[in-house]
Structure 1
Amino acid sequence: MMGREFVPVAGREIAAAGAGAVGDVGEWWSQARCRGLPTEMFFVPDGDRGRSRLVREKRAKRVCQSCPVLRQCGAYAVSAGERHGVWGALTPMERAERRVLLGIEEALAAGA
């Protein structure tokens, strides 16, 4: 993914992931503030830990904070089970916590 342009959800079928609650992909992702920015701004390398990881995540979250589709993006990422990157100002860990609280994790594991 390094060096590629970040296009949130580009071309992905999200209907099975609860798109009804999130909205059609064409309704929100084209307005995302991150659209066109380098992918590596939102996806921290697996080996990146500690302070370096926190700095990268904080930088990505700053972009998200002023995004007009912040809520839709975060809702999509939680419901779709996105496991990587910062989506809707939420890190993978923050999204995992929300999935557990909402009971989504079990549904994803069961293939719902």
Structure 2
Amino acid sequence: MSWMYRAACRDVDPEIFFPIASPDTEAGEAAETQAKQVCGSCSVRARCLDEAIESREPHGVWGGESESARRGLLSGAHGRTS
């Protein structure tokens, strides 16, 4: 996973990506917003999000998306037909 070495979050406190506070609290929302700001400037954001979706990562902000957003993306992918 060499893409991780290029991630904007590599030197950021992981607490903002995996907050102890519930996402439904003010502290949880603040951490998620901060994490998404870091992700917004990341050159490997898409790869990070792909990895989280492929591995069904259940926690944290990955590729600028929260747990609930990734679940929505995952369920949307399963609902599509080619």
Aligned to 1:41: 16
Aligned to 1:109: none
TM-score in terms of structure 1 length: 0.64
Aligned to 2:48: 73
Aligned to 1:101: 76
Whole-Å separation in 1 of the counterparts to 2:32 and 2:22: 14
Counterparts in 2 of 1:15-94, with a 5 A limit? 25-26=1-2, 28-45=3-20, 47=22, 49-94=24-69
Whole-Å separation in 2 of the counterparts to 1:47 and 1:61: 16
Higher-Rg structure is: 1
TM-score in terms of structure 2 length: 0.86
| Aligned partner of residue 103 in structure 1, secondary structure | helix
Q: State percent identity of aligned pairs.
A: 30
Whole-Å separation in 1 of the counterparts to 2:14 and 2:28: 15
Asked if 1 retains the 8 angstrom alpha-carbon contact of 2:40 and 2:64, the reply is yes
| Aligned partner of residue 36 in structure 1, secondary structure | coil
Moved over 6 A (4+): none
How far did residue 37 of structure 1 move? 1.6
Q: Amino acid of the residue matched to residue 47 of structure 2?
A: Q
Q: Amino acid of the residue matched to residue 102 of structure 1?
A: A
| Aligned partner of residue 20 in structure 2, secondary structure | coil
Q: Amino acid of the residue matched to residue 64 of structure 1?
A: C
Q: CA RMSD in A?
A: 1.7
Give ranges in structure 1 of 5+ residues lacking alignment.
1-24, 105-112
